Amino acid sequence: MELVCPAGTPAALRAAVDAGAHSVYCGFADATNARNFPGLNFSRAELEAAIDHAHARGAKVLVAINTFPTAGEEAIWHAALADAARLGADAIILADPGLLAHAAERHPGLRLHLSVQAAAANPDAINLYARHFGIRRVVLPRVLSVEEIAAINREIDIETEVFVFGGLCVMAEGRCALSSYATGQSPNMNGVCSPPDHVAYTSEGDDTVARLGGFAIHRTPRGAPAPYPTLCKGCFVSGERQGHVFEDAVSLDASRLIPALARAGVSALKIEGRQRSRAYVAQIVSAFRAVTDALAAGREPPALALARLAEGQAATTGAYAKRWR
């Protein structure tokens, strides 16, 4: 199985390749990239050097151009596509149907992957993208069980890629109305449900309070472990109950389900975390590479102990092996 690893910076890309990534995904430092965060991402020159570095070591580079073009400013997205193709990207990860149509028409040799931001979660939707735009792979939303993924794979002819580690969106990907309500920003366009400029941490008494768009999400004793500041994993008062009313403050770790995902027909395993450091990338990638190598050799995969690196320092197998409350 192909291990698809995150890189928010050239240093993280080198760390991923050195740690054994089969593929690395990254994006430009502009609005075409859903993870357009402060201090992250690649210039054209940096991407060119990164692709040379990865190719020299047998790894692929997938470029995420996964936001939805703003009306009248399509040229920015078209230029990003053309530059990624010119620089030798092995595939482009796209979400917008208009941009997919443009890519299929203007760059017919380019391998296209459907971003998770497109939220294509059933065979009809996936086959439509494959038929009209020639996508070769779909990144599945993190809301499907292993059995549902197997059923989808029986009805489609393209590859499937699934998330196995990192931040866990429990909504229709990128369409969280809760986040839009709190921040006034679309997660689809800004790539995150907690934009950093809307997150604030303040000390109140002996506690640290995390707020998003002015709304308190959780309160933890200073120095204690804190969850990621997303609304769906916040601790709220609802009626007489106080707790995580939407989802526990956990992130995804499906490492022990990888054999089942392989049997379900999954081709590629994605690690989330372009916003994380090169230290995180190196540790996670080498751990998951040990699993894919063991599987390829017919050995029992090693058990991974990665909770420390998970957002919120606690992990779940997510929808792959659980049901909603």
Partner 1 sequence: MQNDTPELPIFPLILSHAMRPLPLWPLSAGLSRLAGHILHRHPGINNRIDYYQDHVFLLDITDLPLFLTLEPRKARLRAFRRSAVVPGHDAGISGPLAAFLAMLHGQEDGDTLFFSGALAIDGDTAAVLALRNALDDAELDLAAELAELLPPIAGLLRAGLPGMQHLTGLCLQRGSAASERAW
Q: Contact positions toward partner 1, by CB under 8 A?
A: 8-12, 14-15, 18, 37-40, 49, 52-53, 195-197, 199-203, 208, 220, 222-228, 249, 275-280, 282-283, 307-309, 311-314
Q: How far apart are the C-alpha atoms of 285 and 23, rounded to whole Å?
A: 11
Closer residue to partner 1 (CB): 64 or 226: 226
Q: How far is the CB of 206 from partner 1 (least distance, A)?
A: 13
Closer residue to partner 1 (CB): 154 or 222: 222
Q: How far is the CB of 99 from partner 1 (least distance, A)?
A: 26
Burial letters 264-303, b for 16+ CB under 10 A, else e: bebbbbbbbbbbbebebbbbbbebbbbbbeebeeeeebee
Q: How far apart are the C-alpha atoms of 182 and 185, rounded to whole Å?
A: 8
Q: How far apart are the C-alpha atoms of 3 and 254, rounded to whole Å?
A: 13
Q: How far is the CB of 216 from partner 1 (least distance, A)?
A: 15
Q: How far is the CB of 209 from partner 1 (least distance, A)?
A: 11
Instruction: Write the single-letter amino acid at 311.
Output: E
The answer to whether 289 touches 21, Cβ cutoff 8 Å, is yes
Closer residue to partner 1 (CB): 161 or 253: 253
Closer residue to partner 1 (CB): 7 or 143: 7
Closer residue to partner 1 (CB): 69 or 195: 195
Give, to the nearest 10 degrees, the angle between helix 10-19 and helix 44-56.
10
Among candidates 218, 257, 209, 230, which has minimal Cα distance to 167?
230
Q: How far is the CB of 272 from partner 1 (least distance, A)?
A: 12
Q: How far apart are the C-alpha atoms of 64 and 197, rounded to whole Å?
A: 22
CB burial of residue 150 (10 Å; 0-12, 13-18, 19+):
middle
Q: How far is the CB of 325 from partner 1 (least distance, A)?
A: 18
Closer residue to partner 1 (CB): 141 or 227: 227
